Amino acid sequence: MTGTCPLPLLTLLLTLPVGTAALCLACRHRPAAARSLALAGTLAVLLIAIGCFVLLPAETGWLLRENYRWIPALGIQVSLGIDSLSLLMILLTAFLSVLAIGLSWNEDNRPTAYFALLLLVEAGVLGVFMALDLVLFYISWELMLIPLFFLIGIWGQRGGMAAAMKFFLFSLAGSLLMLLAIISLYVLHGQQSGDYSFALSALQNTVVPTGLEPWLFAAFALAFLIKVPLVPLHSWQADTYSAAPAACSLLLAGVLAKTGIYGLIRFALPLFPDTAQAALPLLAVLSLVSILYGGWIASAQRDLKRLVAYSSLAHLGFILLGLSAWTTTAVEGALLQMVNHGLTTAALFILIALIEKRAGTRQLEELGGLWGRAPKLSAMLLFFSLAALGLPGLNNFVGEILILLGTFSVQPLWAVLAAAGLLLAAIYMLRLLQSVIWGPAQDEKSWSDLVLSEWLLLVPLVLLVLWLGLHPETFLEPLRGSAQQLLNGAAPLSLSGGLP
């Protein structure tokens, strides 16, 4: 099935958002047209992604590959490819992008530029999930960053520019060091084989001197872990999430965090297998610290968005713990949890935006009595909070239990500590529910409950959360191959597609 699709689907996935963004900018004086276009563009991407997911066989290895010449003088080509892991990530990205557009439907501050930038973020993320050439990957990696800087800075709340700058500098510090590591690999490989190329399949065969390998791995890991983020690198996260417009928080937590983990899986771990093995315990310790610290700090937050930001830190720690346990069960759980976390966090950010729209505040002490005013909204909040704290039958439970089981089989202590993180999750989530839903209302104003457009955002999420909770096999089965490949260290990269 490798690359036999008659249409250049991957190129289409990449160019569709960019083209739609350009069209959006073109209708500057008709914002309504721009947002319809943006929605149509993201829906089209989602349709293609669903089509791929349904039609392509769930087999190990590349499902689609595309190669084009680009800059032969530097050995750079447009090399795209998806396996089941990247396909699932693309599906998540496409779905959350639709939600992001829907959530900002009533944006009235320069809406055309806003929607165009959102689409560019989507294009960048899709590029990250598909790129198999390191320069293309790096360019996509930066391309998702630049529009986000402007989205957070211009459309964010007070202090948005400062938060955007912090986010940008943090990310760039990591990614520029990664660029240096990429170039080093390129030069090493060129000197060893005479073939100067940035293709992942080529660079994977590079023999890196033992003294250099930890440094290169560290540069890659730093870039990826900043994006996730993991504990010592997280200080941009809460500021950025809380200052960003709702749609950006959704994308940042739902999708951008996954690009970091995906980068580890696709690039850092296979490129430097020996160092990666040595670094796994360190990664595990950092993950555990993230789980406990994130949970602890989340319990002390007064701002809803900051609370979810820190809870996100803890959940992402879980995913990385699963990776660093390096057993089949744990890695499968981690991969599945990437999807789960994307869905629940996105839902929580949507709900926070809906509550903020009604109450005008996100402070826990100023909220209360939601059940009396908007029972349906409260029910949704209850549902997704329970999903986030890992209630059996809902999605997060499946991933977390797999991660815990897999970790326990090799490092019981890690699993025990992580389970304490689950307890913390229960504490901060129940505290959130208690202050928002129950208690007395702060004022007498009556709020409108969920309207149709808001239901449209939430219902697909509810269905997916239930689906993943009750029948995770649909998504788990295609991930098994990816997990096995990662553990065997023999990624299917030897399958090099020829130039068309």
Partner 1 sequence: MTVTELIALLPLMILALGATALLLLARGSVGRSWPLVVGALVALCAALSALLLPPCLMEVGGMYAAGPYARFFIALWSLATAATLISSSAYLTRRQLPSGEYTALLLFAAAGMGLLSSAVSLSGIFLALEAFTLVFYVLIAFNKDCPLGAEAGLKYLVPGGVAAGLLAFGMALLYAASGSLQLPAATAALLSGAPMQSVALAGMALLLAAFAFKLSLAPFHFWTPDVYQGAPAPVTGLLASGSKGAVIAALLTLTATLPAAPAIFEPVLITLALLSMVVGTLCALAQSNVKRMLAYSSVVHMGFVLTGLLCWNHTGRTAALFYLVGYSVITLGIFAVITSFSADKEPQQLSDYRGLARRQPLRALALTVLLLALAGLPPTVGFMGKLAIFSAALSAGYPLLAIIGILVSVVSIYFYLQPVIQMYMPSSSSAEAVEGHAGEYTVIALCLVLTLAFGLFPGPLLELIARLTP
Q: Any contact of residue 131 with partner 1 (CB under 8 A)? A: no
Q: Any contact of residue 207 with partner 1 (CB under 8 A)? A: no
Quick one: DSSP state of residue 303?
B
In the structure encoding, which two tokens stand for residue 113, read together?
């530029």
> Is there a contact between 255 and 92 (Cβ–Cβ < 8 Å)?
yes
How many C-beta atoms surround the C-beta of residue 76 within 10 A? 20
Contact region with partner 1 (CB under 8 A), list: 47-55, 187-195, 334-342, 347-355: 187-195
Contact region with partner 1 (CB under 8 A), list: 36-44, 138-146, 302-310, 391-399: 138-146
DSSP class per residue in 21-35: HHHHHH-TT-HHHHH
Give Cβ neighbours of residue 136 (< 8 Å, ≥ 6 apart).
Answer: 70, 76, 77, 78, 79, 80, 127, 198
Q: Which helix (H) or strand (E) holds 70?
A: strand 64-71
Q: Give me the least distance between CB of 223 and partner 1, in Å please.
A: 12
In the structure encoding, which two tokens stand for residue 457, read together?
């955002």
Q: Any contact of residue 173 with partner 1 (CB under 8 A)? A: yes
In the structure encoding, which two tokens stand for residue 166, read together?
């912090």
In the structure encoding, which two tokens stand for residue 323, read together?
């990776």
Q: What is the dihedral of CA 160, 164, 167, 172, to 10 degrees?
A: -170
Size of the site for partner 1 (CB under 8 A): 31
Binding residue (CB under 8 A) for partner 1 from 17, 153, 342, 399: 153
> Is there a contact between 295 and 425 (Cβ–Cβ < 8 Å)?
yes
How many C-beta atoms surround the C-beta of residue 446 within 10 A? 11
Please give the single-letter amino acid code of residue 3.
G
Question: To 5 degrees, how large is the angle CA 349–CA 368–CA 389?
Answer: 45
Q: Give me the least distance between CB of 295 and partner 1, in Å please.
A: 32
Contact region with partner 1 (CB under 8 A), list: 66-74, 284-292, 324-332, 441-449: 66-74
Contact region with partner 1 (CB under 8 A), list: 176-184, 361-369, 412-420, 456-464: 176-184
For residues 72 and 392, which CB has a smaller minimum distance to partner 1 in the complex?
72
Q: Any contact of residue 191 with partner 1 (CB under 8 A)? A: yes
> Is there a contact between 428 and 299 (Cβ–Cβ < 8 Å)?
yes
For residues 139 and 405, which CB has a smaller minimum distance to partner 1 in the complex?
139
For residues 176 and 401, which CB has a smaller minimum distance to partner 1 in the complex?
176
Q: For the chain, how many helices (H) and strands (E)?
A: 22, 2
Q: Give me the least distance between CB of 187 and partner 1, in Å please.
A: 4
> Is there a contact between 370 and 355 (Cβ–Cβ < 8 Å)?
yes
Please give the single-letter amino acid code of residue 428.
Y
Binding residue (CB under 8 A) for partner 1 from 105, 150, 296, 455: 150
Question: Residue 445 and residue 478: Cα distance in Å, rounded?
Answer: 49
> Is there a contact between 478 and 88 (Cβ–Cβ < 8 Å)?
yes
Q: Any contact of residue 142 with partner 1 (CB under 8 A)? A: yes
- Straight-line distance from the first to the last Cα atom of the chain, in angstroms, rounded to the nearest whole number: 16
Q: Give me the least distance between CB of 76 and partner 1, in Å please.
A: 9
In the structure encoding, which two tokens stand for residue 421, read together?
């993180």
Q: Give me the least distance between CB of 190 and partner 1, in Å please.
A: 7
In the structure encoding, which two tokens stand for residue 257, read together?
């965090």
> Is there a contact between 64 and 52 (Cβ–Cβ < 8 Å)?
yes
Contact region with partner 1 (CB under 8 A), list: 57-65, 153-161, 318-326, 378-386: 153-161
Binding residue (CB under 8 A) for partner 1 from 33, 154, 430, 441: 154
Binding residue (CB under 8 A) for partner 1 from 165, 419, 426, 462: 165
For residues 25 and 382, which CB has a smaller minimum distance to partner 1 in the complex?
25
Contact region with partner 1 (CB under 8 A), list: 31-39, 160-168, 257-265, 321-329: 160-168
Binding residue (CB under 8 A) for partner 1 from 70, 447, 455, 467: 70
Q: Give me the least distance between CB of 311 and partner 1, in Å please.
A: 30
Contact region with partner 1 (CB under 8 A), list: 58-66, 132-140, 447-455, 478-486: 132-140
Binding residue (CB under 8 A) for partner 1 from 53, 129, 186, 384: 186
How many C-beta atoms surround the C-beta of residue 92 within 10 A? 24
What radius of gyration, in Å, describes the C-alpha atoms of the chain? 22
For residues 124 and 406, which CB has a smaller minimum distance to partner 1 in the complex?
124
Q: Any contact of residue 159 with partner 1 (CB under 8 A)? A: no
Q: Any contact of residue 27 with partner 1 (CB under 8 A)? A: no
Q: Give me the least distance between CB of 412 and partner 1, in Å please.
A: 41
Q: Give me the least distance between CB of 222 and partner 1, in Å please.
A: 12
Binding site for partner 1 (CB under 8 A): 70-74, 135, 138-139, 142-143, 146, 149-150, 153-154, 161, 165, 168-169, 172-173, 176-177, 179-180, 183-184, 186-187, 190-191
